[in-house]
Structure 1
Amino acid sequence: MIASFPEQGWSLLCNGVIVFEDTGELLPDGSCIEPHRGPARHALAA
């Protein structure tokens, strides 16, 4: 890891990949890898 900015939710890896807190990635060639989030949790109405 070259740089980490947890307050902004991302880190720069030594291979040039930017990794985001939501597990998405931005590759050095500009392509994106979508976040690997689980299904959204729905709040129950009281």
Structure 2
Amino acid sequence: MCQHRPDCPHYDAPDREAAVVVASCPAQGFSLLCNGVVLFEDLGAILPDGRVLEPRRQVLAEAGAA
């Protein structure tokens, strides 16, 4: 899928978020990466194989409520 040199990290690699953004929708809070990962602003993600990765940081509204 990736045409970049060096190649973007594979979607299953620990550094998957270093892939190039190919589409972004900041109003909705997500970006599509070259490796097929849909990355959300809370750092949750959907991988191309359908797995969902839980968010790794809290949204400010949730943090204030805690």
TM-score range, shorter chain: 0.7 to 0.9
- SS in structure 2 opposite 1:40? helix
TM-score between the two structures when normalised by the length of structure 2: 0.57
Gaps of 5+ in 1: none
Q: Choose the corresponding residue for 2:30, options 10, 17, 24.
A: 10
Aligned to 2:63: 40
Q: Which has the larger radius of gyration?
A: 1
Equivalenced residues, count: 43
Identity, in percent, stands at 58
TM-score between the two structures when normalised by the length of structure 1: 0.79
Gaps of 5+ in 2: 1-20
Q: Which has the higher helix share?
A: 2
What is the aligned-residue RMSD (CA, Å)?
A: 1.9
Q: Which has the higher strand share?
A: 1
Q: Choose the corresponding residue for 1:28, options 41, 44, 48.
A: 48
Deviation, 1:22, is 1.2
Structure 1 segments, 4+ long, off by >6 Å, are: none
